[in-house]
Structure 1
Amino acid sequence: MPNPNRTKPQLIQLLHIARNKLQMDEHVYRQNLQAWTGKASSKDMSIPQLEKCLAGMKRLGFKPVFKGKEPAGKPELQQDQLKKLGQVWTQMAAQGLINNPSYLAMERWAVKQSQHLNNGTGIQKLEWMAPIARELIEQLKRWHRRLMLQKLGITRSNASYSQVLAQFQLQFDRNEGA
């Protein structure tokens, strides 16, 4: 729920804290901002847009901790896995590779994909994915790689996920600048 007492500088500071806590690199951070508001810089945003970005960061696993309170939440390992899954999903949306960037859409995808990773029983919530998290993240990255290669017009490649991501981003940046 948006806090009406927060100022623009406070919201920008919270976004930067969220970025650091989520261990999000600069490029992914800017793509997330762009996907959520159409603006790649928090300084160019209005307070409602900053609140929208903060809500997006919370969906990716950011939990603001205020003085005097202990952070409540899941075990750190599971939290990191949820963050990674959310970051890849958001990046795919920012690149135009998927149509629905919402947390619910990601959860639906995970439930469907988890069936063959969990002895035929799909997980019902992302928070329950700990036993199959690594495989689920790798599966999402493989799908992301295939979509990027397809959009690049490459039918076969031995390049790693990171290499394809870098190549795709180079092409994506070139097209944005044109």
Structure 2
Amino acid sequence: MDKQPFHNKKQLIQLLHIARANLNMDEHLYRQNLQAWCGKTSSKDMSVPELEKAMAGMKRLGFTPVPKAKDKSAKKPLQQDQLKKLGQVWTQMAAQGLINNAGYTALEQWAIEQSRHLNNGAAIQKLEWMADIAGPLIEQLKRWHRRLMLKQLGEPHSKASYNDVLRWYQQQFDCNEGA
């Protein structure tokens, strides 16, 4: 008899519920099977050995547990258009004189620091691995850009949108260059 190394009661209960759904077992039949296998009608009332016994019964009925896929989200590549958007906002900030370094390395360092706040305290070390937080990261960069532009425009408390502020800043910037 091959035993899966499930040590946790909660995991076993969840797996039993997955097995029930996978086998298209209605509530009544599920409880009858639990009663027959373990003498109890509720998985919550069972001990770990009883839950393992119930799981063995589910396997006899045809359930095959599939191991959970390893989480590769932290290393999923950042979509090219998301990376491009980050780069566009970053280089625009540099062109406007709002940041000193327009380089990719500077953007990556900023993103690594920001990833701590967006990834439950854990920094993501490569910009390309930030796919899961790319949307919030782009929005955070745009909010920072907006704050810097408003400060330069002398309007730090404006409620205007990012696009409106960008347009105002560009109008001001273009007018000043022509003078």
TM-score higher than 0.5:
yes
Distance in 1 (alpha carbons) for counterparts of 2:88 and 2:178? 24
Structure 1 partner of 2:163:
162
Report the count of equivalent residues: 104
Q: Does 1:151 align with 2:165?
A: no
Structure 2 partner of 1:50:
none
Residue 158 of structure 1 deviates from its aligned partner by 1.1
Structure 2 partner of 1:14:
none
Structure 1 partner of 2:87:
86
Instruction: Give the aligned residue type for 1:162.
Output: N
Structure 1 partner of 2:100:
99
Q: For 1:126-145, list aligned pairs within 5 A.
A: 126-145=127-146
Residue 155 of structure 1 deviates from its aligned partner by 2.2
Instruction: Give the aligned residue type for 2:112.
Output: V
Residues 27-84 of structure 1: CA deviation (Å, up to 9, x unaligned):
xxxxxxxxxxxxxxxxxxxxxxxxxxxxxxxxxxxxxxxxxxxxxxx97x71110000
Residue 122 of structure 1 deviates from its aligned partner by 1.0
Distance in 2 (alpha carbons) for counterparts of 1:126 and 1:94? 21
Structure 2 partner of 1:70:
none
Kept after mapping to 1: 8 A contact 2:147/2:156: no
Residue 146 of structure 1 deviates from its aligned partner by 0.1
TM-score (norm 2): 0.56
Extract unaligned runs of 5+ from structure 1: 1-73
Extract unaligned runs of 5+ from structure 2: 1-75
Q: For 1:1-178, list aligned pairs within 5 A.
A: 78-178=79-179
Q: Secondary structure in 2 aligned to 1:120?
A: coil
Question: Which ranges of 4 or more aligned residues in structure 1 deviate by more than 2 Å?
Answer: none
Instruction: Give the aligned residue type for 1:158.
Output: K
Kept after mapping to 1: 8 A contact 2:146/2:165: yes
Residues 127-171 of structure 1: CA deviation (Å, up to 9, x unaligned):
001000000000000000000000001121111000000000000
Instruction: Give the aligned residue type for 2:106.
Output: A
* Mean Cα deviation higher: 102-111 or 154-163: 154-163
Instruction: Give the aligned residue type for 1:105.
Output: A
Distance in 2 (alpha carbons) for counterparts of 1:145 and 1:82? 19
Distance in 2 (alpha carbons) for counterparts of 1:90 and 1:155? 22
- Identity over aligned pairs, percent: 75
Instruction: Give the aligned residue type for 1:161.
Output: Y
Distance in 2 (alpha carbons) for counterparts of 1:135 and 1:91? 19
TM-score (norm 1): 0.57
Distance in 2 (alpha carbons) for counterparts of 1:84 and 1:155? 24
RMSD: 1.3
Residues 85-118 of structure 1: CA deviation (Å, up to 9, x unaligned):
0000000000000001100000000000110100
Instruction: Give the aligned residue type for 1:164.
Output: V
